[in-house]
Amino acid sequence: MSESNPYLGRAQRFVGLLKHCQVLGMQVIEASEQNLTIELPYNEQHVGNPSTGVIHGGVLTTLMDTACGTMVINALPEFELCPTLDLRVDYVRAAEPGKSIFAFAEAYRVSRHVVFTRCTVHQGDVNEPVANCVGTFMRIGSHLSPPDFKQAVLGLQGTQGE
Amino acid sequence: MSTFETILQTAHEQGDYKPVVDAIPYAKLIGIDFQRFGNDVIFKLPDNPNNIGNPILPAVHGGVVGGFMEMSAALHLLMMLDTPAMPKIVDFSLDYLRAVRGGRDTFAECQVIRQGSRVANVIINAWQTKREEAVATARAHFLLAP
């Protein structure tokens, strides 16, 4: 199967392999070499404040960590599994209950050892952010990245999901 | 929608915060527990296959580790300061120090560094097997007033 957008396929397969992302219900809806967007529909199980129905910051943290980490995979010339070094998050306003949240991520600098990313979470208008984050990822080299995982993300295994 | 406030108020009166944790859906989703030793509180994130990110190691998803630490800090403030509502997180800075292994429980403890009338600064340390070998460390600001 030749892919019309390899960045989207790679991102979707990567996120599909992360169990907790499936538990939350994340879906990669757009991806290119420059950026990607992941959607997370509202779910009452994600609520952190029962008084307001606002989803917990941890859900946003997980969404942003995933969006930045997936962006790292699309920004590198060869598949590398890069652990997160750190995340710095600003919670700008509470997410409106009942509406999807979208994470828009970019990798703004790829250096020899580190990939620098940033991400904005919004609910339809990127100029009205719910949260902003910057995250750095350590490059461990493609030779240290698990081959099975690499094949699954690159879609080289016939058995991996469509 | 006053039920959660009632649960909180009862918890403050009786010093029992388990019902508060039980009432927070996200805390149940990832599975947070805690144990109080006087003014010390140790939070626990029990091993849970649903919290896995990287399936190869396997490792707990970094975001879950962050969510656990963030939730621990909010609950810690709730217990120590008797706040009438959930503290609201303003910002969060999280350093990942070691892989957080699946198949193991994760623990966290918090320290309030500075508490003003409106804002509190909290640091959070998380570990798995040895307290001295932190898997992650974080710093957060919370708004205390509703």
Residue A41 pLDDT class (50, 70, 90 cuts): very high
Of chain A, the percentage scoring pLDDT greater than 90 comes to 80
Q: How many CB pairs under 8 A join A and B?
A: 138
Domain chopping of chain B, boundaries = 3-143
A161 pLDDT exceeds 50? no
Which residue of B50, B90, B95 is in closest CB contact with A23?
A: B50
Phi, psi of B107, deg, nearest 5: -125, 160
A158 pLDDT exceeds 70? no
Q: Which fold would CATH assign to domain B3-143?
A: Thiol Ester Dehydrase; Chain A (3.10.129)
Q: Which tens digit of pLDDT belongs to each residue from A17-31?
A: 999 999 999 999 999
Cα angle: B123, vertex B125, B128; to 5 degrees: 170
The Cα of A1 is separated from the nearest Cα of chain B by a number of Å equal to: 25
Give the pLDDT of residue A160. 43
Give the pLDDT of residue B70. 97
Give the pLDDT of residue A162. 39
Phi, psi of B20, deg, nearest 5: -65, -50
Give the pLDDT of residue A6. 93
Q: Summarize the confidence of residues A112-139 as an average pLDDT.
A: 97
CA A11 to chain centre: 8
Give the pLDDT of residue A1. 53
Q: Which pair of structure tokens corresponds to residue B109?
A: 């403890």
* Orientation angle between helical segments B62-81 and A57-75, nearest 10 degrees: 160
Beta-bridge mates of residue A55: A47
Give the pLDDT of residue B2. 53
Q: Summarize the confidence of residues A112-130 as an average pLDDT.
A: 97
Could you tell me which residue, B64 or A148, shows the higher pLDDT?
Answer: B64
Of A88, A91, A97, the closest CA to residue A42 belongs to: A97
Binding-site residues on chain B for chain A (CB distance < 8 A): 1, 3-5, 23-30, 49-56, 61-64, 66-68, 70-71, 74, 85-86, 88-96, 99
Which residue of A19, A65, A149 is in closest CB contact with B66?
A: A65
What's the CA gap between B9 and A20, in Å, rounded?
Answer: 33
Q: Summarize the confidence of residues A41-68 as an average pLDDT.
A: 96
Give the pLDDT of residue A34. 95
The ranges of chain B with pLDDT < 50 are 1
CATH superfamily of A6-154: Hotdog Thioesterase (3.10.129.10)
A139 pLDDT exceeds 70? yes
Residue ranges of the alpha helices (H) in chain A?
6-17, 19-24, 57-75, 147-154
Rounded to the nearest integer, the mean pLDDT of chain A is: 92
In this structure, the strands spanning A47-49 and B33-37 are unpaired
Q: Summarize the confidence of residues A85-98 as an average pLDDT.
A: 96
Q: Which pair of structure tokens corresponds to residue B48?
A: 């849970």
Return the amino acid letter for A34: Q
Contact A61 B92 (CB under 8 A): yes
A147 pLDDT exceeds 90? no
